[in-house]
Amino acid sequence: MHRPDHILQGKDGRFYLAELGMKTGLSPSDPAPTPLSHPSGIKIMTSAGNWLGGWGMGSDESADLIAAHALGIDSVGDLYVGETLEGARILKYARVR
């Protein structure tokens, strides 16, 4: 994990972690983070700390996370991710069953 910012346990027992990544604190002249650096993202882990999956900044697509900051889960298990910096938005990721 790189600069974890928020951790949330879902009803499924999994832990969801928001990472700020390397974007925060970089000057405009510094290179942008890449998938090989420490990008912002969401990691899903077991209570024992085993990595189950996740996603984050991997390209320049509109759904990429720039600075994942806060998490929320609604009653049906959909995940909400709040972003800071350029993103300054809330993204909803619908749980696929």
Is residue 70 packed enough to be buried (19+ CB in 10 Å), middle (13-18) or exposed (0-12)? middle
Assess contact for 83 and 65: CB atoms under 8 A.
yes
What string of pLDDT tens digits covers the 97 residues of the chain?
677 889 999 998 999 999 877 654 555 666 665 555 667 789 999 999 898 988 876 656 666 787 888 999 999 999 999 987 766 889 899 988 7
Residue 70, both tokens: 């806060």
CA distance 34 to 64: 12
With tokens 């749980």, the residue in question is 95
> What's the pLDDT at 60?
60
| C-alpha gyration radius of the chain | 13
Domain range annotation of the chain:
1-68
